[in-house]
């Protein structure tokens, strides 16, 4: 395909997921294999994107998003940084499975520095079924990445005509095409007639910190998530630490509350193992606070999975408790 000088240049990184899946029939939306289709097939299925931008497609990986590892994320972030640092790239789209899309998008948001648009996109239905959502989602993602209005907003997530910040957007429905929500931070914009419409001028979320992907080790410190419930055995936290966890994210009810026995066990782990502990809320919205004491931090408005990534990045950079306290302050 010839290069059109009047169009912006958008690169698509394909990683697999439902957007690249094929099903046994046009009426089957379960039991499919993620990542059957390669990047060229995705592009060829939406020829309209070539009227929006000059497209370069790169198959970074082709897997189910639940199989994405820390090494995969670091590699993806490094490649993304290299791509958007090129003067020949105006925007980047990353296709991704929806189950862990929010984790990958959040990770890239914290580890790639650019004002160029980076847009994560996925699909809730395989590419071969009736009313597949992937093709339109991909067209809108490319349109968003090609738009100068999308610059300076951090990493974006778009599905089902909605535009959200990777910092605040999460998958909230297991099946619906309208699966992603932007929590109390709100959506940044929407699509009308396949064109992005923003509610606000470009800005970044408070509390968004930057960690260079190239300064990270190839493996990040182990951080585990524990989910609290009535009768939860607090000794499970020590089991996680003995298996190598340097940090714990404790997902509690309300604003991240834990029963007294759990708080006492956490304090013991801090004294004995110097464990770093973040309390997060199990609820979709709200603000989680620290349960008090040394090495304890509140996840704020981050859900447990995003709080885990934030803690991993801080630990990878050798942050002490004072720096971790600032990292999870969310006011700067």
For residue 1, the model assigns a pLDDT of: 55
Q: Please tell me the total count of domains within the chain.
A: 2
Residue 332 pLDDT > 70, yes or no?
A: no
Phi, psi for residue 205 in degrees, rounded to 5: -65, 145
Cα separation, 243 vs 230, whole angstroms: 24
139/62 same-domain check: yes
Phi-psi label, residue 31: left if phi above 0, alpha if psi -120 to 50, beta otherwise = left
pLDDT single digits (tens) 280-322: 999 988 999 998 889 999 999 999 999 999 999 999 999 999 9
Q: What pLDDT is stored for residue 218 in this prediction? A: 92
For residue 257, what are the contacts with CB-CB under 8 A and spacing of at least 6? 279, 291
pLDDT digits (tens, 9 = 90+) for 255-269: 988 888 888 888 899
Domain co-membership, 172 together with 294: no
pLDDT of amino acid 48 = 96
Question: Does the residue 22 lie in any domain?
Answer: yes
Host H or E run for residue 307? helix 304-316
Q: What positions carry a catalytic annotation? A: 18, 98
65 among annotated binding-site residues: yes
* Residue 107 domain flag: yes
212 found inside a domain: no
CA distances for 53 relative to 31, 104, 141, 142, 197, angstroms:
34, 25, 11, 8, 18
Termini Cα distance of the chain: 46
Instruction: Give pTM, 2 decimals.
Output: 0.96
Q: Is 169 in the same domain as 265? A: no
Q: Are 304 and 257 within one domain?
A: yes
Q: Determine whether the annotation assigns residue 147 to a binding site.
A: no
Identify the domain containing residue 17 by its residue range. 9-198
Q: What is the pLDDT of residue 265?
A: 87
Across the chain, what does the average pLDDT equal? 94
Say whether pLDDT at 210 is over 60.
yes
More confident residue, 332 or 158: 158
- 102 and 160 within one domain: yes
Residue 84 has pLDDT above 70, yes or no: yes
Q: How many residues does the chain have?
A: 332
């Amino acid at each position: 395909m010839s290069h059109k000088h009047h169009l912006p240049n958008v690169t698509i990184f394909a990683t697999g997921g439902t957007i690249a899946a094929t099903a046994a029939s046009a009426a089957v939306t379960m039991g499919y294999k993620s990542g059957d289709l390669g990047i060229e097939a995705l592009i060829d299925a939406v020829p309209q994107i070539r009227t929006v931008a000059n497209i370069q497609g790169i198959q970074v990986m082709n897997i189910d998003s639940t199989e994405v590892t820390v090494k995969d994320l670091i590699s993806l972030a490094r490649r993304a940084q290299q791509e958007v640092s090129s003067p020949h790239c105006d925007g980047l789209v990353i296709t991704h499975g929806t189950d862990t899309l929010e984790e990958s998008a959040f990770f890239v948001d914290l580890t790639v520095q650019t004002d160029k648009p980076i847009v994560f996109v996925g699909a809730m239905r395989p590419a071969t079924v009736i009313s597949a959502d992937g093709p339109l989602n991909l067209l809108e993602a490319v349109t968003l990445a090609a738009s100068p209005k999308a610059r300076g907003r951090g990493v974006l997530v778009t599905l089902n005509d909605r535009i959200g910040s990777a910092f605040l957007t999460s998958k909230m429905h297991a099946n619906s095409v309208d699966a992603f929500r932007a929590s109390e931070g709100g959506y940044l914009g929407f699509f009308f007639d396949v064109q992005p419409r923003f509610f606000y001028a470009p800005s970044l979320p408070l509390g968004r910190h930057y960690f260079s992907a190239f300064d990270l080790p190839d493996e990040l410190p182990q951080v585990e998530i524990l989910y609290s419930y009535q009768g939860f055995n607090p000794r499970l936290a020590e089991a996680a630490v003995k298996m190598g966890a340097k940090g714990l994210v404790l997902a509690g009810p309300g604003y991240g509350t834990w029963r007294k026995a759990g708080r006492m066990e956490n304090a013991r782990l801090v004294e004995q193992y110097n464990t770093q502990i973040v309390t997060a809320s199990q609820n979709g919205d709200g603000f989680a606070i620290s349960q008090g004491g040394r090495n304890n931090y509140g996840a704020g408005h981050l859900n447990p999975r995003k709080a885990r990534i934030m803690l991993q990045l801080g630990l990878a950079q050798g942050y002490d408790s004072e720096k971790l306290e600032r990292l999870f302050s969310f006011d700067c």
